[in-house]
Amino acid sequence: MQFITLANTIFEQSISDYHQINDVDAEISNSYPVKSIEYFLYLKNWIDTVQWHLEDIIRDPLIDPVSALEIKRRIDRSNQERTDLVELIDSYFYEKYQSVVYAGDASFNTESPAWAIDRLSILALKIYHMQQETQRGDASEEHLNNCRKKLAVLLEQQQDLSLAINQLLADIESGKKYMKVYRQMKMYNDPDLNPILYGKN
């Protein structure tokens, strides 16, 4: 099985598992071996799925401001977890291809494999929720048709992105592309780098 086929399958499983419970506070049930790449892919998408629903909740115009602030801070923590996992998945690829001898004309890609996989995880969520919109019994036919068209575009994007990631991994494996792990260096969560935070100390 190609890596991206595996990733897409795991993302679909994670999304389906979440929606069996449909609760942002639900406990994750990750059945893959701890610290395996499958485990990290499932965890990555689970975090994305929970955050998707937190983003929905916080947009409720009647939400209590105190609750909204709590959710906003939870989303901030979630974003940091997502970033950490992306870097971890890139580290997996870096170690996997560490012995590759690069060609003299090898080049860099505009994004690393894991950041492309991050987009693929979000795309799986868009597809799931757009599919749900095409099945709404309370929506107009115009709404349903618009959502069907959008779903078709999303499915095409998923196919194209999956192919592009497979090609990138093949290029790295063959030495046509360099593999590096880029750290995001997020500053707003770091008490040593955010002036609002270190100014309070």
Q: Could you read off the pLDDT tens digit of each residue along the chain, which spans 201 residues?
A: 689 999 999 999 999 999 999 999 999 999 999 999 999 999 999 999 999 999 999 999 999 999 999 999 999 999 999 999 999 999 999 999 999 999 999 998 889 999 999 999 999 999 999 999 999 999 999 999 999 999 999 999 999 999 999 999 999 999 999 988 877 666 666 777 677 667 765
pLDDT at 126: 98
Q: What is the pLDDT of residue 198?
A: 78
pLDDT value for 4:
95
pTM of the entire structure? 0.90
Query: Count of CB atoms within 10 A of residue 199's CB?
Result: 7
- For residue 191, the model assigns a pLDDT of 75
Predicted pLDDT at 118:
97
* pLDDT in the model for residue 1: 66
